[in-house]
Every structure is written in structure tokens, then in C-alpha cells.
């Protein structure tokens, strides 16, 4: 309890857990590009690679929140660049649906960010990760309803 | 389960930030991890040999490799597993170099992140299953649809590699659109001189089976094994026996519109498609022939010096062929100019499409190359209207790319044939791409009788008049109204998908783009492949282009066939595909609607979807779309991703 109070008193100590779902061809390569540039960014994002952003099942995102993530990033190829032509389009549709779902669940929509990162956009990857980390720090930890209390 | 972890130090690049000894303690505490070994350079020959040898001795059930990006070395390490007798798909890579050590400032945070990733990888890899690369026998024969520049080059390239080609052409002659052009841009070179050697090569190649007057009627199967039915209309002339003397044509008493001359003149019911067309044998327009009316006219046969060359009993045939790949090179057509009533096409005399004008310029055309008005007078002035439909959101929202060049060619040919005739180019834009085209533009603009007017909107260009001479009214780009007199008007219509290609797209279930052209796998990287494996694209059926680009794309398509389906080799099926749990599938078919590759079929009898592993690219869009959880994706299964999520959040 006392620890929680301390955290509340000093929110800058909160280190959010963020899951980044990245497609293999563009955004994962963009993250690699940021690595090659050796450009440091906050260590809060954990990347999970899928072949296509179209594979990102809304269930994955909800599972991430359930298992302790404070935020989720969905990164895809730019429109027209999708390796599978239109997977990123499907991903945007599912993201819109997810936002509605989050609203119903009382979860801030900023906790689920969709963005485009191409294989060449290492800097953009760093920028998105940094912004997302700051956003989630500002929002604080995701408060989950405890089942045992209900 | 025994999981082995191999930690590549990448020299000291990774180990400078991530102390392997500190990480070792945490990693060995992860359930199922039996050992943690460090290697200086895992991708070096020594490193790979060590990995292979060590895997052989340790015999782990699953392997985690922490190194650089899997995009770089996953394939290499999978091969090591395979050599050590372990299924290569029982490994998961952690990207410690690009995504941890290089990008995390604080070493403690970096170590935490590394251990976290290794825990997630361990959790995931336990759920990974061995996958097998299957192989299937394939037919080495190739179907090429369309014998224009693209199809001809593709056929020659494939036949040159010793492969059999079935070349299907719907008209009676080979060569496509360019056989009708006497001179070609940008150098005004002789069209037949360019094309005929190519045609001769095709005609003489024993590996190429030429089927003229033919179209694809049915295609069953998939990449590697297609059963194709081809419908061939009767020619009534045996192309092998016919010596091409043309004696049969003179006595024929019936005539019909000559479609190769765009109907500008008539030809006999038995005739050549066009003079010099190859194969050099006439054909009978049966609908125009007296025999179609029940008469027993034999005049052509009687005039023929070769026994059995004219065959009245010829019939439509359905030919069956087995091929491994299909190249679509069916070309395109021109936008219907009657969509612009104000331009007077079809209503006013001496308003022609560019294709009609090509025929008027050709010595093999209806006027033997003499350009005259309908009233027999040479035209004093000629308006060439560019961008008829092109660059227009209401019609064809793209540049057709070829029109400006042939309009400049017309400018030069008219200058030679009718030195006094004024040529007025009315254009929306002017394009001169390429290394040779600008020279032609310079010649066209240097023609003292030529002028150029930029109009703002084609809707404000009107072709009117009472007698033979037209008045062309326009509003120029500056907004000023203007009018010119033109004895002849040439319209340059947009290049648009042909009816044949739209029908073929339906038949083959090959996706089309928003304009109706065949959609390429990738606009820049893979424009000669369709989105369906085994079906390749060449020429203007994929998008507007000129002869050079069409021939190049024909070669590109042939290259894809030769490298993807090499003769005598089996076709490998990538194991990372979607798969249906038949017991759970409800038959809703959502997966079919989202699949960009038409890789999912519906089994009507059992009411379930079936994935064709050969056509599936493994993107997983259908998996995410499946509402009943029946679809899963090998190597990216729900269980594997869930385990990874949970592992990474611990």
C-alpha cells in the first residue's frame, strides 16, 4: 500500500509496459533501422513480430492489456506499401473497432496507438516509441478490475 | 521440455552492453531452459559449426538464439538446426543487437529487457511445432495468352530455355497492336521491320505451339499444375498447307467490314487479316461467307492451287493443355470516344481515333497510306486532341503514357506526307519520358506548321461544323476561349483494359486494380507477377505502356517463370501458411473475402473453407478475421503469440 502511495506521489517512477505489434516487412525493419543508427529510445516497448499487421488479432491486444500491458502499439506499412497489399488496411479497420471496444471498457483510447513505420523510418520508430512511452507515463498504469473483488 | 539458449556476443558489440554472465543467471532460472551458451560470432563459419555440433550433442527439444535481427540470420540458423537433425521451425530468435543493446542507454535496463525477451521466446518456442516443406511435381509447359510484343518475347524466352510454350492469340495473326503501325515512335522506324524478325523466330520455334483465333475457355488448378481448355474458332484454311499465294481472295463474291482497318474499308469474306500478317494464311469470316447462308459456293477452294488448304469442314475445337504457369499478355484497348459527344466522333466526318489514323497512314491500310478527307481533298489542317479520357477522374484517372509520343509521330508523318498541312496539338499535359522521346518532341515542336494549345478541361473542347471542315472550340489553360479550323480531327483515347482481360480476370480469379488492369504483386518490385502464384503479367494488360516496356515485361515474366518453376525441379511449398480447423469452421467465408491471394476455396459439400497452401502467402489476415477461431496460421498460432505476450509482460 505504501509503495502504491509512493508511486502515486512520484508518477515519474512509473515505467509503463508497452507491447508493440510490428509487421515483419516494414515496421520491424524500421525498428532494426533505428538499431543500426544506434539511436537510443525508452526501453519500455516490447516488440512482437508478426508477418503482417493484418495478422494482429484484436484478441492479441486485449490479451496484452489483461496480462499487464499499459499500452499497445500497432505499427504497419504505409498505405500502398503493404507486402501483402492490403493487410495494413485490415489492421486499420480492426484498430478502429478496438478503439470502440476500449471505450466501452473504460480504457483510454490513447493506450492503443496505430501508426505507420516504413523499413526506412528508423527515426520515426524512435519518435513513436518515445511519444507512446510519454503518453502512457502521463496516463499512469492501466487499472484493471480485480475479478476477486467482483 | 529441454530448451537450449545460444547467446551470440557479436564480437563485443552485444556483450559490451549486455553482460552474458549476469544474463546467464536469470535465464537459467526460466523454467525449461536447460542451458545457456555464449558464442563470439554465431554467424561465422566457426560459430555455425559449433551450433550444429552442439545441437547434435545436446539434442534440445527447442532452441532460442539471441543475436541480431531475425530478418538477417533466421534462415542461416534454421539451416544449422536442419543439419543437426532438428526441425528448423523449432527455433525462435531474439533480436538483442538491433532492438536491445544498440538502442538502450542504461545497461541495467538493457539486461532486464534482454531477459524479458528470452523469457518470452522460451514461452513461445515451447508452443512451436515442427513444420515440413512439402514439394509437388509441376508441369514445365507454359501458357502465354496474347501474341503481342509482350507475349511474343515471353514465349521466345521460355522456348529458348527449352520449355514448351502454348501461345494463344484471339486474332488470326500474331503481333498484337503494333502490326497495325507502319512507323513507330520515337525514331519513326519501320514497324514491320522491328516486328517481323520476332514473328519469324516465333513461327519457326518448334517449342512454341501457336494457336490463333483462340481463347482460354477454362482453367482448373493452381501454380505448377493448370489444366487449361482452349477454344479455337475455325479458320477454314489449313495454315500448314496454305502457301500464302492469296489466289483464293480475288474470286470471293462477298465482303465484310475489315476490322483490322477499324472498319474503314471492306475485305472479302476470305481474306488476310492484314497484308503481311503472320502466319501468312487467309481466313474465312464465316458470317460473311455465302456458305453461312446455306449456299454451296466453292469459288475460293476452286482458285486455291493447293489441295486441301481450304477446309470447309473446319470446326470449333476445344484443346486441352497442361501447364505449370500462365503469362497474361492480352493487351488493352482504347477508351470509347463516343463517351465525349462534343468531340463529334462517330457523328462528324473526318474525326478519327488514333488507331484509325494509324491505318490511314499505313500503306497496308484502307487508303494505302494516302491521307485524304472524306470528300477526297487533302486536309489543310489537322487537330490532334491529346488526353481523351486520360488524366481525367471521370474517365481514366491516369496518364496513358503513349499518346503524346504517337501524336508527335503523327505530326512528323503528316509533315512528310502533306508538307503544307497545319497540325494543331490540343493537350491537357505533355509528357516526354525516356532518353529518346525528347528528341521527337523537339522535332514535333520544330515543325513550322505545328502549334500547341493547352486546354483546361476536355469538357470545354467542342468539335462542330456544318460541312466537312470542323470548328474546334476550346477554353485554353489561361481561361481564354478560342477556335481553330480543322479538316481532320484525331483523338488520342486513353489506354484502358480490354473486355478480354476483364473476362479473363473473372475466369482466372486474378485480381484487377481500380482501373480494371491486372493487379501486380507489387507496383514497383514485382509488376510482372500477379497476386496469384503461377500467374504472371506482361504488357498493357497490367497498365499502359509502350512497345519497349511491354517487351521488357514479357522478358521479366519469362524470367519469373524460369526461376520460380525451373524445369525438372519440384515446387516447394512454404510451410508458414494459414490452416483451417475443419471441425470448428462454420463456413461463413469471411476468410475468403479478406484473402488477397484467392488462396481459400470453399468446400460446398462440407460447408467449410479450405486453404490452398501453395497459393497462401502466410500473411495471417484471414486468421485475424475468422470469427470462430477456426483459422490459424502456422508458426504464428494464437497459442504461440499469446505465450509470447505473456512471457514478455512477466
Which of B 563-592 lie inside 8 A of A, CB atoms?
A: 576
Q: What would the mean pLDDT of B580-592 be, rounded to a whole number? A: 96
User: What chain A residue is nearest to B93 in terms of C-alpha separation?
Assistant: A49
Cell of B514: 481500380
| Distances in whole angstroms, Cα of residue B102 to Cα of each of A31, B41, B272, B360, B526 | 11, 17, 72, 69, 34
**In the predicted structure, residue B629 carries a pLDDT above the cut 50:** yes
Give residue B316's pLDDT. 97
Band of pLDDT at residue A149, cut at 50, 70 and 90: very low
Contact B91, B61 (CB under 8 A): no
Pick from B131, B135, B155: which is nearest to B145 by CA?
B155
Beta bridge partners of B214: B232
The CATH number for B601's domain is 3.30.70.20
Q: How far is the alpha carbon of A9 from chain B, nearest alpha carbon, in Å?
A: 23
- Percent of chain B at pLDDT > 90 equals 94
How many Cα atoms sit within 13 Å of B274 on the Cβ side? 28
CA B337 – CA B342 distance, rounded (Å): 10
> Is the Cβ pair A90, B646 closer than 8 Å?
no
In contact, B164 and B142? CB cutoff 8 Å = yes
Place of cell 493443355: B321
Diameter of chain B by CA atoms? 99
Residue bearing cell 507454359: B142
Cβ pair B316, B134 in contact under 8 A:
no
Determine, for residues A46 and B646 on separate chains, whether the beta-carbon distance falls below 8 Å. Answer: no
pLDDT at position B89: 97
CA distance B332 to B557: 17
Residues in B closer than 8 angstroms to A97, CB to CB, are: none
Q: From CA B30, how far away is CA B25, in angstroms rounded?
A: 9
Residue B540: pLDDT over 90: yes
pLDDT category at A2 given cuts 50, 70, 90 is very low
Report the C-alpha gap between B323 and B319 in whole angstroms: 13
Q: What is the pLDDT of residues B258-277, one digit of tens each?
A: 999 999 999 999 999 988 88
Identify the band that residue B248 occupies on the pLDDT scale cut at 50, 70 and 90: very high
Question: Which member of A17, A29, A87 has the closest CB to residue B621?
Answer: A87
Does the distance separating the beta carbons of A50 and B99 come in below 8 Å?
no
Place of cell 497452401: B613
- B646 interfaces chain A, CB cutoff of 8 Å: yes
| Chain A residues within 8 A of B109 when measuring between CB atoms | 43
Give the structural domain span for B603. 574-634
What pLDDT, on the 0 to 100 scale, is given for residue A13? 80
A contacts of B637 (beta carbons < 8 Å): none
Same domain, B535 and B580: no
> Do B344 and B470 fall within a single domain?
yes
Q: Are residues B276 and B366 in the same domain?
A: no
Closest CA to B388 of B347, B348, B342: B342
Q: Which residue of A has its CA nearest to B96?
A: A35
Interface test with A, best of B13, B66, B69, B103 (most A CBs within 10 A): B103
Taking CA–CA distances from B623, the nearest residue in chain A reads A55
Peptide bond into B186 cis (omega under 30): yes
Element (H, E) at B472: strand B470-475
Q: Residue B31: is its pLDDT beyond 90?
A: yes
State whether B624 and A90 contact (CB < 8 Å).
yes
Distance CA B118, CA B64 (A): 8
| Substitution target from B512, B628, B645, B650 for chain A, most A beta carbons within 10 A | B645
Q: What is the pLDDT of residues B334-350, one digit of tens each?
A: 999 999 999 999 999 99
Q: Is A79 on the interface with B (CB under 8 A)?
A: no
Quote the cell numbers at residue B162.
527449352
- Give the one of A43, A50, A67 whose C-beta lies nearest to B620's C-beta: A50
Q: Is B110 on the interface with A (CB under 8 A)?
A: yes
CATH architecture label of A14-139 = 3-Layer(aba) Sandwich (3.40)
Query: Considering chain B, what is the average pLDDT of its residues?
Result: 95
B472-489 per-position pLDDT tens digit:
999 999 999 999 999 999
Contact of A78 with chain B, judged by CB distance below 8 Å, is answered with no
Are residues B189 and B227 part of one domain?
yes
In a domain, B398, yes or no: yes
State yes or no: pLDDT of A8 exceeds 90: no
- pLDDT at position B275 is 83
Q: Note which residues in 93-112 of chain A have CB less than 8 A from chain B.
A: 94
Pairwise CB contact (< 8 Å): B99 & A67 = no
pLDDT at B365: 92
Higher pLDDT among residues B159 and B569, named by residue: B159
B643 occurs within a structural domain: no
| pLDDT, position A12 | 55
Provide, as residue numbers in chain A, all residues whose Cβ is less than 8 Å from the Cβ of B92.
none
User: Do A55 and B620 lie within an 8 Å CB cutoff?
Assistant: yes
Q: Cβ distance B399 to B406 under 8 Å? A: no
Helix axes B547-564, B149-160, angle to 10 degrees: 30
**Domain identity same for B436 and B386:** yes
Q: Which chain B residues touch A34 with a CB distance below 8 Å? A: 98, 103
Q: Buried b vs exposed e over B524-559: b needs ≥16 C-beta within 10 Å? A: eeebbbbbbbbbbbbbbbbbbbbbebbbbbbbbbbb
B594: in domain? yes
Please tell me the pTM assigned to this model. 0.80
What's the number of domains chain B is made of?
A: 5
User: Are B30 and B125 in the same domain?
Assistant: yes
Considering the domain architecture, whether residues B459 and B485 belong to the same structural domain is answered as yes
Q: How many CB pairs under 8 A join A and B?
A: 119
Residue A102 DSSP symbol: H
Residue whose grid cell is 540458423: B77
From B314, B343, B377, give the residue that closes a domain.
B314
| Dist CA B309 CA B117 (whole Å) | 77
Widest CA span in chain A: 52
Q: How many C-beta atoms surround the C-beta of residue B190 within 10 A?
A: 13
Give the three cell numbers for residue B408. 508527335
CB contact under 8 A, A59 and B531: no
Answer with the one of B268, B287, B314 that is the final residue of a domain.
B314
Q: Calculate how close chain B gets to A43, using CA atoms only, in Å.
A: 6
For chain B, what's the residue count?
650
Distance CA B257, CA B267 (A): 6
Cα angle for residues A101, A102, A105 (degrees, 5° grid): 90
pLDDT surpasses 80 at B507: yes
Asked if A18 has any chain B CB less than 8 Å from its own CB, the reply is no
* C-alpha cell of residue B92: 525462435
* CATH number, residue B532: 3.50.50.60
Contact B169, B211 (CB under 8 A): yes
Q: Does residue B644 belong to any structural domain of this protein?
A: no
Q: Residue B619 and residue A87: Cβ atoms within 8 Å? A: yes
Q: Say how far apart CA A78 and CA A96 lie, in whole Å.
A: 17
Strand B189-190 and strand B270-271: the pairing is unpaired
Segments making up each domain of chain A, as ranges: 14-139
Residue A110: its pLDDT value, please? 97
Between chains, do A40 and B105 touch, taking CB under 8 Å as contact?
Answer: yes
Residues B266 and B406 in one domain: no
Residues B225 and B275 reside in one and the same domain: no
Q: Do B103 and A87 touch (CB under 8 A)?
A: no
Q: Of B348, B327, B343, B419, which is closest to residue B384 (Cα–Cα)?
A: B343
Phi, psi of B308 (to 5 degrees): 85, 10
Whether residue B439 is found in the same domain as residue B478: yes
Confidence of residue A10 (pLDDT cuts 50, 70, 90): low
Is the Cα dihedral A35, A20, B63, B108 positive or negative? Answer: positive
Task: Please report which confidence band the pLDDT of residue A81 belongs to, taking 50, 70 and 90 as the band edges.
Answer: confident
Residue of chain B whose alpha carbon sits nearest to that of A46: B648
Are residue B382 and residue B305 in the same domain, yes or no? no
Please give the share of chain B, as a percent, with pLDDT higher than 70: 100
| Cβ–Cβ contact B117 with A under 8 A | yes
Complex prediction ipTM: 0.92
Q: How far apart are CA B97 and CA B448, in angstroms?
A: 67
Give the whole-angstrom CA distance, residue B577 versus residue A83.
15
B374: pLDDT strictly greater than 70: yes
Do B494 and B400 meet the contact criterion of CB atoms below 8 Å apart? yes
Q: Strands across the sheet with B33-39, in order?
A: B33-39, B3-8, B62-67, B91-95
Best mutation target, B530, B617, B620, B635, to test chain A (most A CBs within 10 A): B620
Q: For residue A55, which residues of chain B lie inside 8 Å, CB to CB?
A: 619-621, 623-624, 633, 636
Q: Which helix (H) or strand (E) holds A2?
A: helix A2-9
B475 and B514 assigned to the same domain: no
Q: How far apart are the C-alpha atoms of B355 and B377, rounded to whole Å?
A: 21
B623 CB neighbours in chain A (<8 A) are 55, 57
Tell how strand B142-145 and strand B325-328 pair up: parallel
Which residue in A34, A36, A46 is closest to B116 by CB distance? A46
**Distance of alpha carbon B400 from alpha carbon B391, whole angstroms:** 8
Positive or negative, the Cα torsion across B564, B570, B574, B579? positive
Q: Closest approach of chain A CAs to the CA of B415, in angstroms?
A: 45
Whether residue B524 is predicted with pLDDT greater than 70 in this model: the reply is yes
| DSSP result, B279-325 | S---EE-TTTSGGGGT----HHHHH-SSTTSB-TT---EEEEEEESE
Domain boundary pick from B549, B568, B587: B568
A94, B627 contact by CB (below 8 A): no
Is B71 an interface residue toward A (CB < 8 Å)?
yes
In tens, the pLDDT along B74-111 reads 999 999 999 999 999 999 999 999 999 999 999 999 99
**Lowest mean pLDDT across A80-89, B75-84, B166-175, B321-330:** A80-89
Amino acid at each position: 500500500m505504501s509503495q502504491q502511495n509512493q508511486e502515486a506521489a512520484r508518477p515519474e517512477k512509473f515505467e509503463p509496459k508497452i507491447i508493440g505489434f510490428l509487421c515483419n516487412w516494414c515496421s520491424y525493419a524500421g525498428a532494426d533501422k533505428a538499431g543500426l543508427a544506434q539511436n537510443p529510445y525508452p526501453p519500455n516497448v516490447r516488440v512482437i513480430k508478426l508477418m503482417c499487421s493484418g495478422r494482429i488479432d484484436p484478441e492479441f491486444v486485449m490479451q496484452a492489456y489483461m496480462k499487464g500491458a499499459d499500452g499497445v502499439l500497432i505499427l504497419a506499412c504505409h498505405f500502398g506499401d503493404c507486402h501483402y497489399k492490403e493487410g495494413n488496411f485490415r489492421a486499420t479497420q480492426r484498430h478502429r473497432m478496438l478503439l470502440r471496444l476500449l471505450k466501452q471498457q473504460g480504457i483510454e483510447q490513447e493506450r492503443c496507438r496505430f501508426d505507420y513505420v516504413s523499413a526506412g523510418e528508423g527515426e520515426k520508430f524512435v519518435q513513436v516509441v518515445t511519444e507512446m512511452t510519454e503518453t502512457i507515463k502521463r496516463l499512469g498504469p492501466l487499472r484493471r478490475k480485480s475479478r476477486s473483488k467482483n | 521440455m529441454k530448451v537450449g539458449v545460444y547467446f551470440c556476443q557479436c564480437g563485443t558489440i552485444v556483450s559490451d552492453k549486455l553482460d552474458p554472465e549476469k544474463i546467464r543467471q536469470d535465464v537459467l532460472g526460466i523454467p525449461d531452459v536447460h542451458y545457456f551458451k555464449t558464442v563470439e560470432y554465431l554467424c561465422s563459419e566457426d560459430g555455425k559449426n559449433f551450433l550444429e555440433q552442439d545441437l547434435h550433442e545436446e539434442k534440445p527439444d527447442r532452441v532460442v538464439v539471441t543475436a541480431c535481427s531475425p530478418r538477417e540470420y533466421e534462415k542461416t540458423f534454421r539451416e544449422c538446426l536442419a543439419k543437426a537433425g532438428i526441425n528448423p521451425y523449432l527455433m525462435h530468435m531474439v533480436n538483442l543487437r538491433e532492438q536491445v543493446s544498440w538502442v538502450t542507454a542504461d545497461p541495467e535496463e538493457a539486461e532486464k529487457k534482454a531477459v524479458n525477451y528470452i523469457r518470452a521466446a522460451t514461452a513461445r518456442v515451447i508452443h512451436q511445432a515442427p513444420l515440413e516443406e512439402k514439394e509437388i511435381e509441376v508441369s514445365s509447359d507454359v501458357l502465354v495468352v496474347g501474341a503481342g510484343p509482350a507475349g511474343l518475347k515471353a514465349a521466345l524466352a521460355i522456348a529458348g530455355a527449352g520449355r514448351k510454350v502454348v501461345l494463344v492469340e484471339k486474332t488470326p495473326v500474331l503481333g498484337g497492336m503494333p502490326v497495325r503501325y507502319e512507323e513507330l515512335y520515337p525514331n519513326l522506324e519501320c514497324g514491320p521491320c522491328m516486328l517481323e524478325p520476332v514473328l519469324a523466330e516465333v513461327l519457326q520455334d518448334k517449342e512454341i505451339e501457336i494457336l490463333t483465333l483462340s481463347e482460354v475457355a477454362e482453367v482448373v488448378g493452381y501454380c505448377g499444375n493448370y489444366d487449361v481448355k482452349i477454344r479455337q474458332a475455325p479458320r477454314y484454311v489449313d495454315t500448314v498447307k496454305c502457301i500464302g499465294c492469296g489466289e483464293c481472295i480475288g474470286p470471293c463474291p462477298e465482303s465484310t467490314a475489315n476490322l483490322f482497318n477499324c472498319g474503314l474499308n471492306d475485305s472479302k469474306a476470305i481474306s488476310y487479316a492484314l497484308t503481311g500478317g503472320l502466319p501468312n494464311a487467309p481466313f474465312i469470316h464465316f458470317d460473311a461467307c455465302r456458305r453461312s447462308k446455306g449456299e454451296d459456293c466453292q469459288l475460293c477452294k476452286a482458285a486455291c492451287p493447293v489441295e486441301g488448304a481450304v477446309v470447309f469442314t473446319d470446326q470449333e475445337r476445344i484443346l486441352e493443355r497442361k501447364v505449370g504457369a500462365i503469362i497474361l499478355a492480352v493487351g488493352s484497348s482504347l477508351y470509347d470516344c463516343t463517351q465525349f459527344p462534343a468531340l463529334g466522333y462517330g457523328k462528324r466526318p473526318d474525326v478519327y481515333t488514333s488507331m484509325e489514323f494509324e491505318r490511314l497512314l499505313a500503306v497496308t491500310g484502307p487508303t494505302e497510306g494516302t491521307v485524304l478527307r472524306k470528300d477526297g481533298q487533302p486536309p489543310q489542317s489537322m487537330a490532334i486532341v491529346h488526353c481523351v479520357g486520360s488524366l481525367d477522374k471521370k474517365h481514366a484517372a491516369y496518364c496513358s503514357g503513349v499518346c503524346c509520343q504517337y501524336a508527335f509521330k503523327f505530326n512528323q508523318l503528316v509533315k512528310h506526307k502533306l508538307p503544307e498541312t497545319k497540325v494543331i496539338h490540343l493537350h491537357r499535359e505533355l509528357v516526354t519520358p525516356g532518353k529518346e522521346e525528347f528528341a521527337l518532341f523537339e522535332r514535333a515542336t520544330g515543325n513550322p506548321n505545328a502549334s500547341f494549345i493547352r486546354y483546361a478541361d476536355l469538357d470545354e473542347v467542342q468539335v462542330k461544323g456544318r460541312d466537312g471542315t470542323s470548328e474546334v472550340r476550346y477554353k485554353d489553360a489561361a481561361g481564354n476561349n478560342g477556335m481553330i479550323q480543322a479538316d481532320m480531327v484525331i483523338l488520342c483515347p486513353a489506354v484502358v483494359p480490354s473486355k478480354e482481360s476483364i473476362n479473363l480476370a473473372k475466369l482466372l480469379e486474378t485480381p484487377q486494380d481500380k482501373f480494371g488492369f491486372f493487379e501486380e504483386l507489387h507496383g514497383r518490385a514485382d509488376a510482372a507477377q500477379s497476386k496469384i502464384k503461377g500467374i504472371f503479367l506482361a504488357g498493357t494488360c497490367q497498365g499502359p505502356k509502350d512497345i519497349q516496356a511491354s517487351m521488357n515485361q514479357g522478358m521479366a515474366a519469362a524470367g519469373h517463370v524460369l526461376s520460380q518453376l525451373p524445369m525438372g525441379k519440384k515446387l516447394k511449398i512454404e510451410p508458414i501458411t494459414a490452416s483451417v480447423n475443419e471441425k470448428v469452421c462454420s463456413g461463413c467465408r469471411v476468410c475468403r473475402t479478406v484473402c488477397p491471394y484467392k488462396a481459400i476455396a470453399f468446400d460446398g459439400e462440407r460447408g467449410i473453407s479450405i486453404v490452398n497452401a501453395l497459393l497462401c502467402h502466410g500473411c495471417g489476415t484471414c486468421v485475424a478475421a475468422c470469427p470462430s477461431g477456426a483459422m490459424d496460421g502456422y508458426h504464428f498460432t494464437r497459442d504461440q503469440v499469446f505465450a509470447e505476450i505473456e512471457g514478455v509482460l512477466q
